[in-house]
Amino acid sequence: MNLEELLGNTDVVIGEEDLVEKLEGSRPLKVKFGVDPTRPDLTFGHLVVFNKLKQFQDAGHEAILLIGDYTARIGDPSGRSELRPELTEDEVNENAKTYLDQAFRVLDPDKTVVRRNSEWFGEMTFADALKLSRKMTVARMLERDDFEKRFRGNQPISMVEFMYPLIQGYDSIVLEADVELGGSDQLFNMLVGRTLQKDQGLSPQAVLTMPLLVGLDGGRKMSKSYDNYIAFNDSSKDVFGKTMSISDDAMWSYFQLLLLKSEDEIKNLQGCHPMDAKKQLASELTAMFFGSEVAEKELASFSQVFSKGETPDEMPILKLSEIALQPDERSLLNILGISGHFESKGQIRRLFKQGAIKLDGQRIDDCDQTPSFPADSDGVVLKAGKKIFIKILP
């Protein structure tokens, strides 16, 4: 793999000359990517960086996946306007349980070094932490955009948030990283890593930042915090359906950053009808995680439901006799409320007002209506919006 491929799809490259020199050397480079288990899921936003780590791995370098089980308890302040909620050690460990299974859907497990930063921070004393804090000034911290905005806006910045870049940077000392990968919002933290390495007499790591993937809402970056993401652990149906929900403008970056399509390939796709291009995107992403056979099935199911307006062959089943609602509480509003598809009843009421709720194909405007079942009925189909179908049984 040549240098152009290794540096492709990057926003910023710091230390390129040193990187080229190291790549021309005889030893494999240590390439670090850290993820904080603040939620149980890795997202396709992470996939952008995992793709880059896999490229280095395929080129024969040492891929280091750092599980930030210690830093997750603090919370990365990058791009934040307020302090993240504090997580307990148990919550972090629970979230981290599935991270390796998810990551190894992209990386080669036999060629990946996995570390947790609690290995060294769990042993660090308060005196060690104070010594580390001497390496950075408040003025330098306020060079960071999000800190500067909060400072000028008289919004609080906690001392623990100031420590986060130092902690992430210290990881690079322990791991002796030659390269650190991350999203463009991580640039400041990774530059701190270079500073700390120099201070320790180590060769400073090269820093490669990748563009941030736009989330499903079309505005903010894809993030677990914003719930606008596609997860590694999503079902094949959700991967396909969520991909089809992104905007036409956003899909080209998905082709580039997730599927690593070339400029020429993307130009050819832009000559297609947007719906056809998006179906190809959804099919290829689904195939990446579930195989081509499953992807073909999801494409057929999507076409059946959305292109032809038909009811899917398979859908979740909800038995009224088994749910925690009394007979006089079984309104469509309450049924949808316990279905797990909605964050609030306000969201459901808006769908009723928009005429987006149907029962066996008939529009329902009254959210208090209860489902009725004809004699010998095998149930009724409740449709909410364009994507949600539920088979209701007595």
152 and 56 within one domain: yes
With beta carbons less than 8 A apart as the criterion, state whether 385 and 358 touch. Answer: no
Find the distance separating the first CA and the last CA of the chain, reported in whole Å: 60
Confidence at residue 206, expressed as pLDDT on a 0 to 100 scale = 98
User: Do 367 and 344 sit in the same domain of this protein?
Assistant: yes
| pLDDT, average across residues 74-92 | 69
Choosing from 210, 228, 244, the residue where a domain stops is 210
| pLDDT at 199 exceeding the cut of 90 | yes
Gap between the Cα atoms of 213 and 231, Å rounded: 13
Pair 340, 379 in one domain: yes
147-154: average pLDDT? 86
CATH label of the domain that carries residue 355: 3.10.290.10
Banded model confidence at residue 76, pLDDT cuts 50, 70, 90 = low
Is position 225 within any domain? Answer: no
- Considering the domain architecture, whether residues 299 and 337 belong to the same structural domain is answered as no
Q: Are residues 130 and 69 in the same domain?
A: yes
189 and 296 fall within a common domain:
no
As given in the structure block, the two tokens for residue 110 are 């036999």
Query: For residues 79, 85, 90 and 92, what is the CA-based torsion angle, rounded to 10 degrees?
Result: -10
Tell me which amino acid residue 282 is: A
Q: By three-state DSSP, how is residue 122 classified? A: coil
Residue 357 lies in a domain: yes
For residue 251, is pLDDT > 90?
Answer: yes
Q: Answer with the one of 307, 325, 359 that is the final residue of a domain.
A: 307
Domain presence at residue 78: yes
CB neighbours of 220 closer than 8 A, spacing ≥ 6?
Answer: 214, 226, 228
223 is a domain residue: no
Longest dimension (CA), the chain: 81
Q: How confident is the model at residue 344 (pLDDT cuts 50, 70, 90)?
A: confident
Q: Which has the closest alpha carbon to 286: 218, 240, 319?
A: 240
As for how many domains the chain has, the answer is 3
The C-alpha atoms of residue 197 and residue 205 are separated, in whole angstroms, by: 8
Confidence of residue 267 (pLDDT cuts 50, 70, 90): very high
Separation in Å, CA 157 to CA 81, 207, 302, 380: 9, 26, 46, 53
**Residue-level pLDDT at 337:** 86
377 shares a domain with 251:
no
Kindly state whether residue 97 falls inside one of the protein's structural domains: yes
pLDDT in tens, 374-388: 777 778 889 888 778
Task: Give the separation between CA 182 and CA 185, rounded to whole angstroms.
Answer: 8
* Any domain includes 254: yes
Range(s) of the domain holding residue 326: 317-393
Record the tokens describing residue 221, joined without a space. Answer: 């970056």
pLDDT of residue 196: 96
Is the model more confident about 239 or about 321? 239
Confidence of residue 322 (pLDDT cuts 50, 70, 90): confident
d(C-alpha 383, C-alpha 243), whole Å: 20
Q: Number of C-alpha atoms within 13 angstroms, CB side, residue 38?
A: 19
DSSP secondary structure letter of residue 322: G
CATH number, domain of 191, equals: 3.40.50.620
Residue pair 57/71 in contact (Cβ under 8 Å)? The answer is no
3-state per-residue secondary structure call for 215-228? CCCCCCECCCCCCC
If we measure between CA atoms, which residue out of 181, 16, 242 comes closest to residue 193?
181
Residue 228 placed within a domain: no
pLDDT digits (tens, 9 = 90+) for 18-36: 999 999 998 999 999 999 9
**Rounded Cα–Cα distance for residues 36 and 92 (Å):** 9
Q: Which has the minimum average pLDDT: 58-62, 158-162, 167-171, 173-177?
A: 158-162
Report the candidate in 60, 4, 71, 69 with the shortest Cα–Cα distance to residue 31: 60
Of 384, 289, 293, 394, which is closest to residue 339 (Cα–Cα)? Answer: 384
Q: Are residues 148 and 109 in the same domain?
A: yes
DSSP state of 43: B
Q: Is the per-residue pLDDT at 128 higher than 70?
A: yes
For residue 321, the model assigns a pLDDT of: 83
Q: What is the DSSP letter of 90?
A: H
Domain boundary at 249, 276, 307, which? 307
Mark whether 103 and 177 lie in a shared domain: yes
Residue 65 has pLDDT above 60, yes or no: yes
Most confident range (mean pLDDT) of 92-96, 104-108, 319-323 is 104-108
CB atoms within 10 A of CB 253: 17
Q: What whole-number distance in Å separates Cα of residue 125 and Cα of residue 315?
A: 54
Contact of 210 with 182, CB cutoff 8 Å? yes
Q: Are residues 129 and 255 in the same domain?
A: no
